[in-house]
Structure 1
Amino acid sequence: MVDTVENASNTPHDPQPWAELGLKAEEYDRIREILGRRPTGCELAMYSVMWSEHCSYKSSKVHLRRFGAVGHDTPRGPLLAGIGEQAGVVDVGNGLAVTFKIESHNHPSYVEPYQGAATGVGGIVRDILAMGARPIGVMDPLRFGPLDAPDTARVLPGIVAGVGGYGNCLGLPNIGGEVVFDPTYYGNPLVNALCVGVLGHDDLQTNAAVGVGNQVIMFGAATGGDGIGGASILASETFDADGPVKRPSVQVGDPFMEKLLIECCLELYAAGIVVGIQDFGAAGISCATSEMASAGVGGMHVELDLVELRDPTLAPEEILMSESQERMMAVVAPGDVEQFMAICAKWDVLATVIGEVTEGDRLIIDWHGQTVVDVDPRTVADDGPVYERPWARPSWQDTLQSDTTAKLPRAASDQELADQVLRLVGSPNQCDKSWITDQYDRFVRGNSVLAQPEDAGMLRIDEASGLGIALATDCNGRFALLNPYWGAQLALSEAYRNVAASGAQPVAITDCLNFGSPEDPDVMWQFREAIIGLVDGCTELGTPVTGGNVSFYNSTDGANILPTPVVGMLGIIDDVADRTPSGFAYAGDAIALLGTTRDELDGSAWAGLFDHLGGQPPRPDFAAEKALASVLISAAKQRLLSSAHDLSDGGLAQALVESCLRRGLGAAVTLPDGDATVALFSESPARALVSFPASSLDAVARLCSEAGVPLTRLGEVTELDEIEVVGRFALGLTDVRETWAAPLRAAMAGH
């Protein structure tokens, strides 16, 4: 028997599975209060997914509001769309705009690594598509448990294959990201996916359902039983008490359908027949109908039995909760429906009219002529619970911060320094990641200018002028654990620096805030501190927050992950021909260090060699970051530099090794006076390693002097097969490369 609105009104005391759907008792009581009765099964399904942590941000809203203080102006002008939209949109000049966003797909990727990661890519691509843009590239910041852990061997190959398989099939270059290993991610890998797209100013789309009588059309893949309740629970019992069935909790992706959907949408936009559009992500039809109706000025009527199904046994509640992939919803004027359908048919995309925009403020959903949903869509999409979770500085924070690297032994000999450099570059977090990145197509579409292992990915978006964009994602969770305020700012600083090192002007960010349980006051303190840190940092740098994602409940057996506020930075470069690569390019070039090195080893990769994590991370310095960026960007425009590589994880030692290995050139450098351990391994921010011909020296020095950026001449690029630290040690490049290349390949042998 279908649970209709009439039946719900007549049976107020019928038991309902609200707890099994992830709702709390007070939330269920609030739903009953809003409706003035108990919800129907379909209404309960809608509220449960839309009021979930993933969809409603109920534990993070009070803190995310702080991002509004950053403003909406980039160094290149105001945002065209910001927080609250499906993705942020930045004006990049020449009548073009760029939209970009990052989101998480962590838990599904643990349950089913390939499909979890693949559908994470598919979902973020559709967010970009729904803004009216052509998706042009993706990135994938990833976090795993220890490289040698059994579960890492299970999840890592599947996740990488899922990211690569979906993106490669779509024909989207994967131009960057990160791979980090840490014990806290064991049993809870992080799969964050970023997509970027380009559109004309006039192509911008919205998701508002407006225009009484306009038709509501579902198009794309048919609806199946995959991903039911994925936003609120990993799997749920069917609503049919007579036959409980466990539905798969992870969506199943079809990148070839998504490719058709992309081309179909772009032709629909070009035809000018889309009034409003939204992709189907978390919460499926529940999300698309309630959010589009809420964003409009009227209501919506939907006939749920008209939805095309892959599984005809699905109950209406399951149809509403299904997160089947490759689906979109559009609002179209009646006179344009025929043309809309013709375009969909051309691309072999299934399309069905399932409802219309109505007067009033109700979302009405019928099932075979009986009303199963009658709600104000704003109460579903916008008026979910808002929790001010308790937060408190952890009792262990002082002890952690007092446990500094001062107690760790500095190298007693030059040979020990050399050994530490080799151990560092052969550690899981600093080693070669090409086993992963070689599975991604980085150059499809022909507009990839820079890609892994460069500091930032870069794409040309206008062939005539050479206009391009650069993107980098960064976060050091070790720093964020030691000091979440500074840790978030250091993630922001590193992403800013990486974009600037490529020659692009950083302009705006998106963020993916991955944290443990919000019910833990320690975690909420970390989250709050990270938000405030990003707000303060973005204000200093003039880089507004365009949107992003919060992922909570990342914990295993009661142990939370490292706080991981990943920052994605967008930059603009007027001509990609002016870009600066990250590796040494020419023997005989001078090598110089830009910026100031301090004794800042706490939380560093060097400290990790001793299994030590404690103290305070390096102190962010936004004035120094902006000054360094101005030098790097000006030097790129004047084509003064042969290479530029930011200093971050592993400090100068890691930057030297990566710069040499990039093109097989050696280096001879002399360390500045003082502690050699600090010189090689400090992770002080606002620094870059650059190389340039002798003819550029005066101009580079002048730029540094004008910006107040210290320039330290270290040595020169050589043709020798070695990295020589003059007067201390030399390491053969062949040995260094073997050490650097071995860990990941050895661990993944056979996968």
Structure 2
Amino acid sequence: MPETRLPLLDTVSVAADDPGREQPWSDLGLKADEYAEIRQILGRRPTSAELAMYSVMWSEHCSYKSSKVHLKQFSEIPQETPIGKMLAGIGENAGVIDVGQGYAVTFKIESHNHPSYVEPYQGAATGVGGIVRDILAMGARPVAVMDPLRFGPLDADDTHRVLPGVVAGVGGYGNCLGLPNIGGEVVFDETYLGNPLVNALCVGVLRHEDLHLAKASGAGNQVILYGAKTGGDGIGGVSILASETFEDTGPAKRPSVQVGDPFMEKLLIECTLEIFAAGLVAGIQDLGGAGLSCATSELASAGDGGMYVELDRVPLRDSTLAPEEILMSESQERMMAVVEPDDVAAFLAICAKWEVDATVVGEVTDTGRLQIDWHGERVVDVPPRSVAHDGPTYQRPFARPDSQDLLQGDVAEALMRPATGDELAATLLRLVASPNLCDKSWVTDQYDRYVRGNTVLAQPSDSGMIRIDEETNLGVAVSTDCNGRFARLDPYAGAQLALAESYRNVATSGAVPLAISDCLNFGSPEDPAVMWQFAEACRGLKDGCLELGIPVTGGNVSLYNQTGETAILPTPVVAVLGVIQDVTRRTPSAFEAADERVFLLGETREELSGSEWAHVVHRHLGGLPPKVDLACEKSLAELLHEAVGLVTSAHDLSDGGLAQALVEASLQHDVGVTVTLTDDAFVGLFSESAARVLVTVPDGDADRLTSLAARHGVPLTELGRTGGTELVVEGQFALSLSEIRDAWSATLPAALG
């Protein structure tokens, strides 16, 4: 038999002596000029292990090479919230905000879109696991998650493949961790067919003194890898998969999607929190996208700049993995800590108590280099900043497409609309049964919303709310929102409308909005029209946050969300977090009792373009989105905060307009309502004008509300009264709540079983 020869290990010395060796840089997603730049940085060709590191860390998902020129403008926003300074912001694993009483809250939203299309359950599950570890790495206990989701048409076969798996993955992982899922969205549009959006948010709580950052400082400090063993799942994973468009027949590349183990993650959380409490960590980083490549290079470059790692010490599930595969693996439930030598024994003892594997794999150095050995041979010797932070920056060309004028000129206000009471009633029933407005409990019932006992508000409330101190009842409210149709019509205004809606949803609960995190989902950056959408959305968010006086704490960019030539609707999801001093005084979003007076705060205009009515009834998208008035949004939020204890319910108006708000406010507790619309009833019911909230007050408190609205300059219109078992629009129609509920609740079960 012929002798089997193992390939020669590609060490640094081999790379220096063999400069002409062909390398698969293109297959790893690198461009020719990027590969040439790596050679220039190193003064030689990279080793196979170095090439693996650069390829994943310079991917679109990790390096933000097409987006960071636009994201820089967020630094123009003052890093202060309405109650104090941010403790950590953009560039860290997650933003950290002072919420008073010595507490801080950290929150962040990220995407796991392409992996969730390839393997819906594991893609979504590991998306949850990854964002939870980001929060944990800041020194916080994760306390809640949220999941903004977007799919293709509800009746599409591929939606039936993807949606159940995604929902099961989100619920399965979060439920096993014991984290309540307190909010999110489920949106359907044909542009998401073949490219669903699976965004995941996590909220964590910590004391100010418990804040930890991702840095490796102190020469001689030990580098410890702990958690699950490293396997072949997720090699290249999200870092490469999320950096390329899908073809019509499926993803162009199908690297392994990460496989999650929530029970291991639960042990990892409790183990890490005990390690924090013992004061044993000098720096820490989770292993998510790009795995060890990311953790080692980011820790080193954010610290003193040097690290030495013995890669063969990494515990493996698959002993056949090559060095480059170990560095690229995105196996889940892993963390890397920097620990002083005298603390190593105590660190390892806590890990053993929790049955979490922990191994010293290296140490911090003062060399200014990231050096990695494999069985005594040097396979990586690079400047860590060149891997983690100094990757390519692209000034992608962007331009407003000529077709935008035609799109904006095709206004929905010219479409045929219902003219009689019966037609209005039929339209309402059709809309409440539509996929985007129908009851989402088929999804949310798969999530545990109340585990841990501190959930104050969850679906179907306007925002989720968590109590963070059981003695004082201090709490936080969070909402995620985006209307992709509005962003398609005008990406600048659309991003601001997403910000405004999320801000308003937090304010309706009685909380004070403090800060945002964003997940910017767009098509290919190589398309100038898509890059124009992205640039405009970033500019809109920056200007909006400046006007509202709240900072961007961080977030995520997800590009290449398109199948073939079809890009998704531009979808800048905005999460807003607010603080409430006493959660027992929150404002509910549904009608609580009969014989209360119903008022509309804000101004209704004839704004139907991009609306659910135009989308559902006419399959139409065109015109301009509703007007943005952030000064009005701010005044409205201030009024709602001052009205805590006065108003008995507050429900924002957004998708579906007043009609949908009346339906949702009535159905939650089966409290009917009778309203009178003095102007055009159709516009009054289905316009989607922003800066509006439906509120109720007891009969004797109307004058106090009127005075409060006048003082804040917020228009106030009395609509009617709660009570009965019908939704009545005087002079137009009366629908029983049971008939509305039948239409509203049947859609998802009928489609999904």
For the aligned pair, the TM-score class normalised by the smaller chain equals over 0.9
In structure 2, what is the Cα distance between the partners aligned to 1:488 and 1:298? 38
In structure 1, what is the Cα distance between the partners aligned to 2:633 and 2:64? 32
Equivalent residue for 2:664, pick from 647, 658, 661: 658
Q: Does 1:622 align with 2:627?
A: no
- The structural deviation recorded for 1:275 is 0.3
Deviations 1:404-432 (A, max 9, x none): 01321122211111111111101110000
In structure 1, what is the Cα distance between the partners aligned to 2:612 and 2:93? 37
Q: Does 1:567 align with 2:574?
A: yes
Q: Does 1:275 align with 2:282?
A: yes
Q: Does 1:695 align with 2:703?
A: no
- The structural deviation recorded for 1:711 is 1.2
In structure 2, what is the Cα distance between the partners aligned to 1:500 and 1:300? 46
Corresponding position of 1:612: 620
In structure 2, what is the Cα distance between the partners aligned to 1:162 and 1:115? 6
Deviations 1:549-581 (A, max 9, x none): 000000012100000000000000000011011
Percent identical among aligned pairs is 70
In the TM superposition, 1:647-726 aligns within 5 A as 647-671=653-677, 673-718=678-723, 720-726=724-730
More displaced stretch, 246-255 vs 654-663:
246-255
More displaced stretch, 607-616 vs 693-702:
693-702
Q: Does 1:443 align with 2:450?
A: yes
Q: Does 1:336 align with 2:343?
A: yes
Equivalent residue for 1:256, pick from 252, 258, 263: 263
- The structural deviation recorded for 1:393 is 0.1
In the TM superposition, 1:411-560 aligns within 5 A as 411-560=418-567
Counterpart of 1:681 in structure 2: which amino acid? F
In structure 2, what is the Cα distance between the partners aligned to 1:174 and 1:35? 46
Deviations 1:91-114 (A, max 9, x none): 000000000000000000000000
Structure 1 residue ranges, 4+ long, deviating more than 2 angstroms after superposition: 231-236
In structure 2, what is the Cα distance between the partners aligned to 1:558 and 1:607? 25
Contact 1:142 1:191 in 2 (8 A): yes
In structure 2, what is the Cα distance between the partners aligned to 1:510 and 1:247? 29
Deviations 1:692-730 (A, max 9, x none): 111221221111110011111111111x22101011100
Contact 2:442 2:748 in 1 (8 A): yes
Counterpart of 1:633 in structure 2: which amino acid? H
Counterpart of 2:17 in structure 1: which amino acid? N
Contact 2:607 2:625 in 1 (8 A): yes
Distance 1:432 1:208, change over 3 A: same
- The structural deviation recorded for 1:248 is 5.0
Equivalent residue for 1:733, pick from 714, 717, 737: 737
Contact 1:226 1:247 in 2 (8 A): no
In structure 1, what is the Cα distance between the partners aligned to 2:492 and 2:241? 32
Q: Does 1:747 align with 2:744?
A: no
In structure 2, what is the Cα distance between the partners aligned to 1:43 and 1:515? 30
- The structural deviation recorded for 1:235 is 11
TM-score, structure 1 normalization: 0.97
Equivalent residue for 1:220, pick from 227, 230, 248: 227
Counterpart of 1:678 in structure 2: which amino acid? V
Distance 1:712 1:235, change over 3 A: closer
Equivalent residue for 2:643, pick from 629, 635, 644: 635
Structure 1's unaligned 5+ residue stretches are 237-245
Corresponding position of 1:243: none
- The structural deviation recorded for 1:56 is 0.2
Corresponding position of 2:380: 373
Equivalent residue for 1:302, pick from 278, 296, 309: 309
- The structural deviation recorded for 1:476 is 0.1
Contact 1:235 1:247 in 2 (8 A): no
Counterpart of 2:732 in structure 1: which amino acid? R
What's the secondary structure of 1:494's corresponding residue? helix
Corresponding position of 1:356: 363
Contact 1:228 1:321 in 2 (8 A): yes
Q: Does 1:312 align with 2:319?
A: yes
Residues paired across the two proteins, number: 736
In structure 1, what is the Cα distance between the partners aligned to 2:242 and 2:210? 38
Corresponding position of 1:242: none
In structure 2, what is the Cα distance between the partners aligned to 1:345 and 1:191? 35
Contact 2:108 2:554 in 1 (8 A): yes
Contact 1:95 1:201 in 2 (8 A): yes
TM-score, structure 2 normalization: 0.97
Deviations 1:42-76 (A, max 9, x none): 00000000000000000001000010111201101
In structure 2, what is the Cα distance between the partners aligned to 1:445 and 1:692? 32
Corresponding position of 2:95: 88
Q: Does 1:386 align with 2:393?
A: yes
What's the secondary structure of 1:427's corresponding residue? coil
Contact 2:590 2:664 in 1 (8 A): yes
Q: Does 1:645 align with 2:681?
A: no
Corresponding position of 1:166: 173
Counterpart of 1:614 in structure 2: which amino acid? G
In structure 2, what is the Cα distance between the partners aligned to 1:472 and 1:228? 33
Deviations 1:102-159 (A, max 9, x none): 0000000000000000000000000000000000000000000000000000000000
- The structural deviation recorded for 1:247 is 8.6
In structure 2, what is the Cα distance between the partners aligned to 1:556 and 1:419? 36
Deviations 1:21-46 (A, max 9, x none): 00000000000000000000000000
Corresponding position of 1:327: 334
In structure 2, what is the Cα distance between the partners aligned to 1:173 and 1:512? 21
Deviations 1:516-543 (A, max 9, x none): 0000000000000000000000000011
Contact 2:591 2:671 in 1 (8 A): yes
Contact 1:584 1:663 in 2 (8 A): yes
Equivalent residue for 2:590, pick from 583, 596, 602: 583
Corresponding position of 1:239: none
Corresponding position of 1:21: 28
Deviations 1:607-630 (A, max 9, x none): 112111100000110111011111
Q: Does 1:406 align with 2:410?
A: no
In structure 2, what is the Cα distance between the partners aligned to 1:329 and 1:71? 32
Corresponding position of 2:123: 116
Distance 1:247 1:54, change over 3 A: closer
What's the secondary structure of 1:233's corresponding residue? helix
- The structural deviation recorded for 1:665 is 1.1
What's the secondary structure of 1:485's corresponding residue? helix
Contact 2:242 2:560 in 1 (8 A): no
In structure 2, what is the Cα distance between the partners aligned to 1:169 and 1:698? 49
Contact 1:42 1:317 in 2 (8 A): yes
Corresponding position of 2:246: none
Deviations 1:569-603 (A, max 9, x none): 00000000110111100001111111100111110
Contact 2:413 2:607 in 1 (8 A): no
In structure 2, what is the Cα distance between the partners aligned to 1:381 and 1:269? 25
Counterpart of 2:20 in structure 1: which amino acid? H
Contact 1:235 1:249 in 2 (8 A): no
Corresponding position of 2:45: 38
